[in-house]
A = this chain, B = another copy of it.
């Protein structure tokens, strides 16, 4: 059975509902989303494969999830490095960055250089709200992630992919196929084009909300915040 996907519009409405009638704060949701991303990295890339994780952080909530994931990875013994070229003045993002600075996590400006000395990459540039063109300075970053042999884990969507239609037919991102994807709350339609290891994370959705948005909770086990599914979102 394939888990139902939720399109870009539904994902935006779900997010809004969780933070209004659902009564969640963005801090809570981001903490749990980022925690689930860190658990995926721990699963696919144990520290024994190399502790260095380069996290590419975009300007919005997907980037926030990446910052939280980096913090949890640091607490778990990894050595994360943050590439965060567009820092919004938003209080939450500034706090998440400060929490990393207090853990002596380095922030770097040169993504291609950082890519040469890492063991894993987390792509937290764009998420379900992405559409249109990839703005500077991210085209070169996505191109570098497309070309590197270092394994890449994308958060919610491979950055530059259209949420509903998948990879762009040409240009930036058309050749970007990350090794791992963490779908947050539910897979997006783009998963039909994805070929790597696929997890669902974000264990905070009430059954009634999932029903309203017509998707299935993935059957998390024990205290896991993640569950692995097939690349296209079939139950394993």
Tell me whether A99 and B24 are in contact (CB under 8 A): yes
Question: Smallest CB–CB gap between A16 and chain B, Å?
Answer: 15
**Distance between Cα atoms of A35 and B102 in the complex (Å):** 22
Residue count of chain A within 8 Å CB distance of chain B: 32
A110 interfacial contact with B, CB 8 Å: no
The secondary structure that dominates the A interface is helix
Most buried by B among A22, A75, A99: A75
Tell me whether A95 and B25 are in contact (CB under 8 A): yes
**Distance between Cα atoms of A92 and B25 in the complex (Å):** 9
- Can you offer 19 A-B residue contacts whose CB atoms are under 8 A? A22-B102, A23-B96, A23-B98, A23-B102, A24-B95, A25-B95, A27-B28, A27-B31, A28-B31, A31-B32, A38-B223, A39-B223, A72-B223, A75-B204, A75-B220, A76-B222, A99-B206, A102-B206, A102-B209
| A interface residue numbers (CB < 8 A to B) | 22-25, 27-28, 31-32, 35, 38-39, 42, 72, 75-76, 92, 94-96, 98-99, 102-103, 203-204, 206-209, 220, 222-223
